[in-house]
Amino acid sequence: MNKFTLTALFAIPFSFAVAQSLIPSQTVQSKIESAILYLDGAELTQRKTITLNPGRNLIIFSGITPKLVSKSVQVTSTGDVSLLSVSDRINYLTDAKETAKTKQLKDSLEMINDIISQLQYDREAYDTEKKMINANQRIGGNEKGVAIAELKLAADFYRSRIKEINGELFKLDKKIENNQKTATKLQLSLAEINGVDDEPTAEIEILVNNNGAAKAGSEMEIKYIVANAGWVPTYDLIAEDINKPIQLKYKAKVFNNTNVDWNDIKIKLSTGDPMKNASKPELMTWYLNYNNAYQQNMAYQQTYNSYSNTTSNNNNNDQNYNAPASMTLDNIYKEELKKKQLEVQQKKGQQVKTTIAYEDIQVSELSAEFEIKQTYSIPSDAKPYLVDVTEYNLPATYKHFCVPKMEKEAFMLARITGWEELNLVEGSANVYFGGTYVGQSYINPRSVDDTLDLSFGRDKKIIVTRTKLKDLNKDRVIGNNKKVTFSYEMVVKNNRKGPVTIELNDQLPVSKNTDIVVENIELSKAQLDPATGKLKWVLTLAPDEMKKVILTFSVKYPRDQSINMDNMRKKSRAKF
């Protein structure tokens, strides 16, 4: 069986308008069978077995996403068939196929409207009866009176029946109101997705020649690149205890915004470039410099993690949210306000175009691929759907860090070796320790070190205190100078069942004036960086062991001057 492949990039130009009038054509549809998902696009594959007449045949694959990249179309045909030309076009005359979601919403809306109609019919019946009773309240005619007993019975009847009717009308009005609210929500949901469903679809037209003398079957395979689809890596880091390996669950958030649903398809994830061509690769100059971008990214992550900790009780289910470059609370508020305004627009039925935000990251030049074993269905709604990629068990060593001056809880860092072979792509990670979710971290494999450091958040079993020693804290006047002495005691206790190593950090003030003199009195053998004033103690504690360090220093300055002794930070508050 021969097999020929033709790409649209090298297709022979051909007038398909003329071809359709002279050559037998057939329009076919086929489901998307598989997708290679890239970080910024996807390659989709469809197949269809087609019966070809002898000679030339025009095959039109319809229902194709309009987001396809024309020059990426490839066609493969089996049998004694020659591929002559390939082209694609947008068909504005064909109605877009109704998606399963749209059909479900329309069916639900029709059912609710039927219920409302039935309730209105029931209401009309009760209302008619009420009008009849009110129109027939005269008893005994105009000349003849009526007995008191009969009048009482009639009054009781009218009162009782009118009361029953009013009660039923009240219930019916409430039911109608509730169902109308549901109908309105369904109509708003339909209005939100109508913009997608109403978009035209594309067609791929293939001109082939059946070289045989009789009809013959041929399996045609089409592949093409689409925009508005891709994947984002995400991770789960799970550690049961500090003496056990870390379980890393590699996952992906897959999104599809191509206007065509993917139903039960095979998926492969790739970090490659979907638009790479057949040209030989060219090596560019490899420059080395200090990785300031990496440092800025880590600083951002620290700010982001700080923000995440303050909002850890909130269920953030907005998958399209992108953190601003500067993670101040003011910017966070503005971003949240934008999301809420978007939700209000959607509820009001305004047309809102679904968009995907992108960010630049760095990946290895040698692309990695991940074959996903099970099939997935990804609707075209621009929302991320979680896909399991693979799992790793990683040996790790643990180290604790604490800055008691700022935070009296110890943070745990896991140091992983041998991570280079895991094909990790930088991304966020959900961190679990001891069966408890401890927050979010960030995996950034862009490092020349052989060790990957991962944050596991606070460790409640390491107790740290920082206490000002009042007896040693004092002010003195010496001639024309004032000398202020500060003294602190830091105590660390290990409540874990195994030994731990913890790094304590503190600082000395750094003078910017020769009249201001900082003197080290007691540092408990701390490592001092004179340029920054940063202090570091590395302590190893056995189970239930407690250690302490003393920090004492003095600041001398002219008595007629005033200096700020506290290292302050800015914070926003309400102003009334």
pLDDT for position 572: 76
Question: For 450-506, how does the pLDDT look when each residue is reduced to its tens digit (9 = 90+)?
Answer: 677 777 878 889 999 999 988 777 788 888 899 999 999 999 999 998 899 999 999
Name the nearest CA neighbour of 35 among 416, 295, 387, 301: 387
- Is 212 in a helix, a strand, or coil? coil
Same domain, yes or no: 291 and 439: yes
Task: Give the span between the Cα atoms of 516 and 505, in whole angstroms.
Answer: 24
Of 10 and 154, the structure prediction assigns the larger pLDDT to: 154
Is residue 510 scored above 50 in pLDDT? Answer: yes
Is residue 353 scored above 60 in pLDDT? Answer: no
Mean pLDDT of 76-87: 91
Residues 6+ apart with CB under 8 A from 14: 84, 85, 87, 207
Total structural domains in the chain?
4
Helix H or strand E segment including 302: helix 292-310
Q: Is 576 a member of any domain?
A: no
Of 438 and 118, the structure prediction assigns the larger pLDDT to: 118
Neighbours of 483 (CB within 10 A): 16
pLDDT for position 565: 74
Q: Is 328 a member of any domain?
A: no
Q: Is 485 a member of any domain?
A: yes
Same domain, yes or no: 106 and 158: yes
Burial 59-97, CB ≥16 within 10 A → b, else e:
bbbbbbbbbbbbebbbbbbbbebebbbbbbeebeeeebe
Mean pLDDT of 521-532: 94
pTM beyond 0.75, yes or no: no
- Is 395 in a helix, a strand, or coil? coil
Burial of 256 (0-12, 13-18, 19+ CB in 10 A): buried
pLDDT for position 431: 87
Question: For 260-284, how does the pLDDT look when each residue is reduced to its tens digit (9 = 90+)?
Answer: 899 999 999 998 887 765 456 677 7
Of 97 and 71, the structure prediction assigns the larger pLDDT to: 71
Name the nearest CA neighbour of 264 among 108, 100, 95: 100
Q: Is 82 a member of any domain?
A: yes
Mean pLDDT of 14-43: 79
Which residues face 34 on adjacent strands? 45, 266
Q: How far is CA 381 from the centre of its chain?
A: 13
Q: Is 346 a member of any domain?
A: no
Task: Give the span between the Cα atoms of 524 and 531, in whole angstroms.
Answer: 19
pLDDT for position 140: 53
Q: Is 45 a member of any domain?
A: yes
Q: Is 277 a member of any domain?
A: no
Name the nearest CA neighbour of 256 among 224, 225, 228, 226: 228
Is residue 538 scored above 90 in pLDDT? Answer: yes
Highest mean pLDDT among 90-104, 143-157, 408-422: 408-422
Same domain, yes or no: 298 and 389: yes
DSSP 8-state symbol, 218? E
Same domain, yes or no: 109 and 10: no
Same domain, yes or no: 64 and 53: yes
275 φψ region: left (φ > 0), alpha (ψ -120 to 50), beta (else): alpha
Q: Is 340 a member of any domain?
A: no
Cα maximum dimension of the chain: 123
pLDDT for position 341: 55
Of 61 and 332, the structure prediction assigns the larger pLDDT to: 61
pLDDT for position 14: 46
Same domain, yes or no: 67 and 207: yes
Same domain, yes or no: 220 and 121: no
DSSP sequence for 414-439: EEEESGGGG----EEEEEEETTEEEE
Of 343 and 76, the structure prediction assigns the larger pLDDT to: 76
Helices (H), 15-99: 16-22
Question: For 172-216, how does the pLDDT look when each residue is reduced to its tens digit (9 = 90+)?
Answer: 999 999 999 898 888 887 776 654 455 678 899 999 999 988 888
Same domain, yes or no: 523 and 505: yes
Q: Please report which confidence band the pLDDT of residue 251 belongs to, taking 50, 70 and 90 as the band edges.
A: very high
Is residue 152 scored above 90 in pLDDT? Answer: no
Angle at 370 between CA 365 and CA 374, to 5 degrees: 165
Contact 553, 508 (CB under 8 A): yes
Q: How far is CA 549 from the centre of its chain?
A: 44
Sign of CA dihedral 102, 107, 111, 116: positive
Tokens of 28: 């076919």
pLDDT for position 38: 92
Quick one: what percent of the chain has pLDDT higher than 70?
75
Same domain, yes or no: 10 and 58: yes
Same domain, yes or no: 133 and 207: no
pLDDT for position 295: 46
Angle at 356 between CA 354 and CA 357, to 5 degrees: 135
Same domain, yes or no: 147 and 208: no
Contact 300, 67 (CB under 8 A): no
Contact 431, 448 (CB under 8 A): no
Determine the straight-line distance between the first and last CA of the chain, rounded to whole angstroms: 83
Burial 502-527, CB ≥16 within 10 A → b, else e:
bbbebbbbeeeeeebeeeeeebeebe
Residues 6+ apart with CB under 8 A from 448: none
Q: Residue 311's domain spans which residues?
A: 232-260+284-320+356-394+419-449
Same domain, yes or no: 256 and 368: yes
Q: Which range (51-60, 125-134, 152-161) has the least confidence?
A: 152-161
Computed over every residue of the chain, the mean pLDDT equals 79
